């Protein structure tokens, strides 16, 4: 399988901004991966996502150089119409991406815009509702939904367009811990069932390390670290770039330091890994 | 205010009238509207109002229509007084005052029983530009969101010591500024985010967007439409030829 996303030498500066929001960026994401993008606020994560779905450069002015290639076509050269069908974008605030009066109408919104015939639209909407297990909400009005439900509705609207790549910008920032971890489980399941590639901007790494294949850390518009979550989080630089190291990893690091590296077998990221490591030592 | 304006805001309902094709409801309300203009005596007006009250009861919205009537009573009282002063004719004044109430009721029956989805459909039917229809859709969609925003901002500002209910009128109006500014800022941010989300969902991509919902007139809808035309013709005929005109 090839790369669904390739960013090559990308630089972008917003109009009237003194410095680049994204600088010399290189990134390749193979199809079917879940990649996590982390970094301090204002480091350019959302900007990078906008260059992937074409809002930059199609909607924003500014200085743009380099190339972003999604599913083999350059974003610069593609229309928003085509991009909307390959790249799904789940924005931070689900409230502001639900347009219609009922859930099912909203899930259909993108398809209506594309002029998809009614019968096909019906089946794709039902499929998206089923995938997200929100069929019972179909006739609800947006203001009758909880934040977690709104998030699912927005994601259903994105998935109904059958994108190959879905990008999520801080999807859990408005969710309580339980709903947030449900969303992560959902993303993992969708990747299994549909083979969709996900790029997720997320601060709460402890939620995602269990399912992510790749962790990219940004700082000041540049990519500063990249690798498997294990390699990045156990490396020496992660903390320096303000990455929130998961508690399990911190525990293991502390144990390793105090007991001269014998404490627990290497590279623990999730509580269940820690649990089985500890169990293993007891026996 | 909320209590009164409730007479124009749709709430889910399941009566036969709610379920009618929006076009049939629009036609019916339009004809009732015209009938109120045709009524030339209090007796005729009472007939029209009685019909609308009966219809509201059948559509299970009588309570809310009554609220609309209570709301308009104030204006209609004003119309009555002005008319009495100028025409010095009690009957004409009563007629005008009730006509005002009747007009409002005829439109309110439409808005109370027609969902925003159906309103959108009606707007499309009149071939309004897609952007206009969509602006209407988002405006209605965000009414509850903005109301919640307002309440939250008011609470936040009150907890910082803003006193909304104090002082004279000028002071009270000035007190609204700390509420309005965050509200406006919120809306600006919101519309920016909405614009991005619209692009990401291919808004404006197809020259002919399709719709998930289909409004196909059923027999009932056509039946109701015909019935309202017949009733209208009957009313118009009897107002002019059967019921004698009583006032000058
Ligand atoms: N629409 C915009 N116009 C101008 N500057 C912007 C705009 N959006 C973001 N920026 C700037 O670009 C930089 C990166 O922002 P952003 O991509 O939103 O960061 P993040 O998502 O990582 O918090 C910031 O310095 C921010 O102020
Ligand atoms: Mg951001």
Taking CA atoms only, the protein residue closest to ligand 1 atom 14 is A44
Closest CA to A167 of A35, A30, A44: A35
Quote the tokens at residue B213: 């919902």
Question: In total, how many domains does chain B have?
Answer: 2
Please count the residues of chain A: 283
Domain assignment of residue B134, yes or no: no
Chain A residues touching B209 at Cβ < 8 A? 112-115
Q: β-strand A3-13 against A22-30: which pairing, if any?
A: antiparallel
Angle of helix A103-114 relative to helix A118-131, nearest 10 degrees, comes to 130
Q: Are residues B27 and B149 in the same domain?
A: no
Q: DSSP H helical segments within chain B, as ranges?
A: 2-5, 22-38, 42-58, 62-87, 90-113, 116-125, 130-141, 143-159, 169-175, 177-200, 219-237
Query: Is the beta carbon of A47 within 6 A of some atom in ligand 1?
Result: yes
Q: What is the spatial distance between Cα B110 and Cα B107, in angstroms, rounded to a whole number?
A: 5
Q: Are residues B100 and B24 in the same domain?
A: yes
Closest CA to A36 of A24, A45, A25, A47: A45
Rounded to a whole number, what is the distance in Å from the CA of B201 to chain A's nearest CA?
5
Q: Please give the average per-residue pLDDT across A238-267, as a whole number.
A: 70
Q: Would you say residue A260 has pLDDT above 70?
A: no
Q: Which domain holds residue B172?
A: 142-200
Residue spans of the domains in chain A: they are 3-237, 246-283
Chain B residues touching A89 at Cβ < 8 A? 196-197, 200
Please count the residues of chain B: 248
Q: Would you say residue A280 has pLDDT above 80?
A: no
pTM of the shown model: 0.85
Please tell me the predicted confidence (pLDDT) of residue A119.
Answer: 95
Q: Are residues B115 and B233 in the same domain?
A: yes
CATH code for the structural domain at A3-237: 3.40.50.300
The ligand 1 atom nearest the CA atom of A40: 22
Q: Are residues B68 and B163 in the same domain?
A: no
pLDDT band, residue A266 (cuts 50/70/90): low
Please tell me the predicted confidence (pLDDT) of residue A97.
Answer: 94
In the predicted model, residues of chain B with pLDDT beneath 70 are 1-9, 243-248
Query: What pLDDT, in 10s, does the model give residues A98-141?
Result: 999 999 999 999 999 999 999 999 999 999 999 999 999 999 99
Q: Are residues B223 and B194 in the same domain?
A: no
Could you give the 3-state DSSP secondary structure of residue B193? helix
Q: Would you say residue A262 has pLDDT above 70?
A: no
Inter-chain Cβ pairs, chain A and chain B, closer than 8 A:
112
Q: Which residues pair with A88 in a beta bridge?
A: A166
Q: Would you say residue A264 has pLDDT above 70?
A: no
Asked if B137 and A102 come within 8 Å (Cβ–Cβ), the reply is no
Q: Which has more confidence, A251 or A217?
A: A217
Please tell me the predicted confidence (pLDDT) of residue B248.
Answer: 46
Arithmetic mean of pLDDT over chain A: 90
Q: Are residues B147 and B183 in the same domain?
A: yes
Q: Which of A88, A91, A100 to mutate to test the interface with B (most CBs of B within 10 A)?
A: A100
The H or E element that residue A275 is part of is: helix A271-282
Query: What pLDDT, in 10s, does the model give residues A54-84?
Result: 999 999 999 999 999 999 999 999 999 999 9
Buried b (16+ CB within 10 A) or exposed e, A226-260: beebbebbbeeebeebebebbebbeebbeebeeee
Chain B residues touching A102 at Cβ < 8 A? 117
How far from each other are the two terminal CA atoms of chain A, in whole angstroms?
42
Q: Would you say residue A257 has pLDDT above 80?
A: no
Domain assignment of residue B10, yes or no: yes
Ligand found nearest the CA of A37: 1
Domain assignment of residue B131, yes or no: no
Taking CA atoms only, the protein residue closest to ligand 1 atom 20 is A42
Q: Are residues B196 and B230 in the same domain?
A: no
Rounded to a whole number, what is the distance in Å from the CA of A115 to chain B's nearest CA?
4
Which residues of B fall below an 8 Å CB-CB distance to A? 115-117, 134, 137-138, 140-141, 144-145, 148, 190, 193-214
Please tell me the predicted confidence (pLDDT) of residue A34.
Answer: 96
> Are the C-beta atoms of residues A143 and A100 closer than 8 Å to each other?
no
Asked if A98 and B141 come within 8 Å (Cβ–Cβ), the reply is yes
Query: What pLDDT, in 10s, does the model give residues A166-189?
Result: 999 999 988 888 889 999 999 999
Query: What pLDDT, in 10s, does the model give residues B135-192?
Result: 999 988 898 888 888 888 888 888 888 877 777 888 888 888 888 898 899 899 999 9
């Amino acid at each position: 399988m090839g790369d669904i996303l390739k960013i090559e030498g990308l630089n972008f500066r917003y109009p009237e901004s003194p410095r680049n929001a994204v600088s010399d960026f290189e990134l390749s994401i193979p199809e079917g991966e879940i990649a996590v993008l982390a970094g301090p606020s204002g480091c350019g994560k959302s900007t990078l996502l906008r260059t992937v779905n074409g809002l930059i450069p199609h909607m924003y002015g500014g200085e743009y150089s380099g190339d972003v290639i999604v599913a083999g076509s350059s974003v610069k050269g593609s229309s928003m119409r085509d991009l909307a069908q390959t790249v799904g974008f789940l924005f931070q605030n689900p409230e502001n991406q639900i347009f219609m009066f009922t859930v099912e109408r909203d899930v259909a919104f993108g398809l209506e815009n594309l002029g998809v015939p009614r019968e096909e639209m019906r089946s794709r909407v039902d499929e998206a509702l089923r995938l997200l297990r929100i069929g019972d909400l179909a006739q609800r009005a947006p203001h009758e939904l909880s934040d977690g439900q709104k998030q699912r509705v927005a994601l259903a609207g994105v998935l109904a367009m059958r994108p190959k790549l879905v990008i999520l910008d801080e999807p859990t920032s408005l969710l309580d811990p339980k709903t947030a971890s449900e969303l992560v489980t959902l993303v993992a399941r969708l990747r299994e069932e549909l083979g969709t590639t996900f790029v997720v901007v997320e601060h709460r790494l402890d939620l995602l390390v269990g399912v992510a294949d790749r962790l990219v850390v940004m700082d000041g518009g540049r990519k500063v670290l990249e690798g498997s979550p294990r390699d990045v989080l156990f490396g020496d630089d992660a903390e320096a770039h303000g990455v929130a190291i998961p508690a399990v990893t911190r525990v293991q690091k502390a144990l390793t330091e105090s007991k001269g590296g014998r404490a627990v077998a290497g590279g623990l990221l999730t509580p269940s890994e820690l649990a089985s490591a500890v169990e293993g030592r007891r026996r | 205010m909320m209590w009164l304006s409730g007479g124009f805001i749709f709430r889910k309902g399941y009566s036969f009238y709610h379920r009618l094709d929006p076009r049939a409801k629009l036609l019916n309300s339009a004809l009732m509207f015209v009938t109120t203009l045709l009524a030339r005596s209090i007796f005729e007006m009472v007939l029209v109002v009685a019909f609308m009250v009966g219809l509201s009861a059948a559509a299970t919205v009588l309570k809310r229509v009554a609220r609309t009537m209570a709301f308009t009573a104030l204006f209609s009282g004003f119309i009555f007084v002005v008319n009495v002063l100028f025409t010095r004719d009690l009957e004409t004044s009563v007629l005008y005052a009730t006509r005002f109430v009747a007009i409002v009721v005829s439109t309110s029956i439409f808005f109370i029983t027609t969902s925003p989805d159906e309103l959108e459909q009606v707007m499309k039917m009149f071939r309004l530009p897609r952007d206009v229809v969509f602006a209407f859709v988002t405006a209605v969609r965000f009414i509850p969101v903005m109301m919640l925003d307002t309440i939250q901002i008011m609470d936040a500002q009150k907890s910082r010591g803003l006193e909304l209910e104090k002082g004279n009128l000028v002071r009270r109006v000035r007190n609204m500024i700390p509420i309005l500014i965050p509200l406006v800022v919120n809306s600006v941010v919101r519309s920016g985010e909405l614009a991005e989300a619209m692009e990401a969902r291919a808004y404006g991509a197809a020259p002919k967007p399709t719709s998930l919902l289909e409004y196909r007139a059923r027999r009932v809808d056509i039946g109701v439409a015909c019935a309202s035309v017949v009733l209208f013709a009957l009313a118009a005929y009897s107002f002019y030829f059967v019921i004698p005109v009583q006032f000058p």
